[in-house]
Chains A and B, each alone.
Chain A
C-alpha cells in the first residue's frame, strides 16, 4: 500500500468541504477522483498533497505519516502534484522550469540539467527548451508542469485536472503521455472532469459528492451507479457502454 488516507475531513469554519473520506492507493495504481464542482475532490486532493491542513484524519505514505507534513516534505518523500491553474515559473525557460524539479534529486547543476533534458524529451518538450514558459499556451504550460513534477522522480503523482482545455488531438497526446508515465512505474491519482480520460486511463474511480465518497470501483461500474448519475444530473455526462 503506497498511500492510505483514512477518515479525512476538512472544514472551513462550519462548512465541511470533505467529510470522512478514505482512499487507498497501491503501488502501480492509476486512480481517478471525480464528482461535480464543489464536491470536495479538489480539497481532498490538496489535503493529500500537503497543501492544506486536514481537520481530522490520517494520511500515510509508504509507512510515513504525512498528515501534518508540509508540501516540501511530501515532495521529498516522493509525492508530486500539478496545479489546476498552471503554476509554471512564467519568466523562466521551459528547461529551467523542469530543472527546478530536477534539483530535488540532483543537487548539481549539470546532473540536474541532464535529467531535465531527458524528461523534456520524454514529454515531447525538447524543442521548446529555451522558450519562456509564459509564451506557451495553457496546454503547453500544463505539460511543463507535468514534466517539472516528473523531474522530481516521484513515486506518486497527483494530477489536478491536468488534461482540461485540450483539443481532441492534444487530449489523445496527453492521455498517451500519462499512460507512458504510469508505465514507467509512477502511481497516479488524477482529478478530472473529462470522462474519456477517466474511462480510458484509470483502473479505479472514487466519486465525490458534497464532501463524501459516494461510490468507488471500476470505471465501468461506477458510471452505471444510480447515486453517481444522480449526482451528475444536469451536467450532461452519461454512462457510456464500451
Chain B
C-alpha cells in the first residue's frame, strides 16, 4: 500500500537536485538552489505539525530563530564552532514547543495558532532589546574559517550539498513517520479528534510530540541558515516573514503530503526571486501582499494545495494511490 514511492518522478527529482549545481553553476543560480533547499527544509519541518497533525502554527519562526541564534551566539561568547550551537537550539526549541503545546492543545485550534504568533512576537521584540544576543544589530559568525568545522565556506556549493542531505534525511524521517502508528494517529487527530480519542489515541501527547519533532527540524533549518549566511538578527530569525513563508510553501504544494512542501518551494522560491528582482526595494512589501493573497486563495479554493488539485483534475491513472 504505502511502500517506498517507486514513482519514477521522485528518482528523477532526486537526480535533478543532485546535478543541478553542475549544470547551473553560476553564483546566482547556486544561491537560488540553496535558498530553495532551505525553504523546502523549513516548510517540510512545519508540515509535520501543521500539515499532518493539522495544528496550524503561524509563528514557527520561534524555533527557526532559536536554531539560527544559538550557533552564532555561542561562537561570539565562547568561540565555539557554530555547529556546536545546533543541539542547544534544538533543546531550546523542544522546551518551548512543550511549553506552548501543553496548555493550548487542550483548547480549540485557534488558541494554539494565536499562541504561536504571540510567542514569536514576544521573543522577537525581546531579542531586539537584549544586548547579549546582539539586540537589534544581531550576531555575526566567523568571517574566516578557522578550520572545516566552522562550516564557513567561501562558495555556496558545499552548503548546497549539506542542505540537500538534510532535506533528504528530513523527508525520509517524515516518510517513516507516515508509515508508523504515530503517522496514523496524527492523521486521525487532524481529521476527527473526537473519534480519535474514542479509539484510544493519546491526543495531547501525540500533538506535543508532533510539535516537538517539527520544532527540532525547524531549528536545524534556522541553524543552517545562520551558519551559511554568517549573520542573524531578530527580523531574519524570529520575524513574521519566516513563519509565513513556511506556511505558504507547505500549503501551496499540499500540507500533509510528503512532497507538498518541496513542490511549493519549487514554485514559490523562483517566484519570490523574480518579484524581488523586478520590484527592487519595494519587493518585500509586495511579497507580503502577494503571499497574503495566495494564502487566502488557497484557503478558499484549495486547502489541500496543488497535490489535492492534481488529484481532482488528473486522469485516474495518474492519481496518487492515497491521500494524506
Contact = CB atoms under 8 A, between A and B. Distances in A.
B314 interface: no
Contacts of B188: 89, 92, 100
A83 B195 contact: yes
A95 B1 contact: yes
B181 interface: yes
A179 interface: no
B202 to A, nearest CB: 6
A75 B184 contact: no
B199 A101 contact: yes
B192 interface: yes
Interface string A47-90: 00101000000000000000000111011100011010001111
A92 B194 contact: no
A149 interface: yes
B181 A90 contact: no
B112 interface: no
Contacts of A88: 192, 195
B200 A72 contact: yes
A74 to B, nearest CB: 8
Interface residues of A, number: 34
Given A88-B195, A91-B191, A132-B323, A100 B184 contact: yes
Question: Could you tell me the dominant secondary structure of chain A's interface residues?
Answer: mixed
B179 A51 contact: no
A109 interface: yes
B139 interface: no
B189 to A, nearest CB: 10
Given A51-B198, A89-B187, A107 B181 contact: yes
Given A103-B185, A109-B181, A132-B323, A90 B191 contact: yes
A152 interface: yes
Question: Could you tell me the dominant secondary structure of chain B's interface residues?
Answer: helix
A96 interface: yes
Nearest to B187: A92
B198 A71 contact: yes
Contacts of B110: none
B201 A100 contact: yes
Given A72-B202, A132-B323, A89 B191 contact: yes
Interface string B189-221: 001101111111111000000000000000000
B180 interface: yes
B316 interface: no
Contacts of A198: none
A225 interface: no
A148 B199 contact: yes
Nearest to A133: B191
A80 B198 contact: yes
Nearest to A132: B323
A112 interface: yes
Contacts of A216: none
Nearest to A78: B200
Contacts of B199: 75, 80, 100-101, 104, 148-149, 152
Nearest to B308: A91
B184 A96 contact: yes
A100 B200 CA distance: 9
Contacts of B187: 89, 91-92, 96
Given A96-B184, A103-B184, A132-B323, A89 B197 contact: no
Nearest to B196: A100
A178 interface: no
Nearest to A105: B200
A99 to B, nearest CB: 6
Contact of B194 (A51, A90, A107, A109): A51
B181 A91 contact: no
A148 B201 CA distance: 13
Contact of B198 (A75, A109, A132): A75
Interface string B77-91: 000000000000000
A152 B192 contact: no
27 contacts: A49-B198, A51-B194, A70-B197, A71-B194, A72-B197, A72-B202, A75-B199, A76-B200, A80-B199, A81-B198, A83-B195, A88-B195, A89-B191, A89-B195, A90-B192, A95-B1, A100-B184, A100-B185, A100-B199, A100-B201, A103-B181, A104-B199, A107-B181, A109-B179, A112-B181, A130-B1, A149-B198
Interface of B: 1, 179-181, 184-185, 187-188, 191-192, 194-203, 322-324
Pairs A-B, 5 closest by C-beta atoms: A75-B200, A87-B195, A71-B197, A104-B200, A89-B191
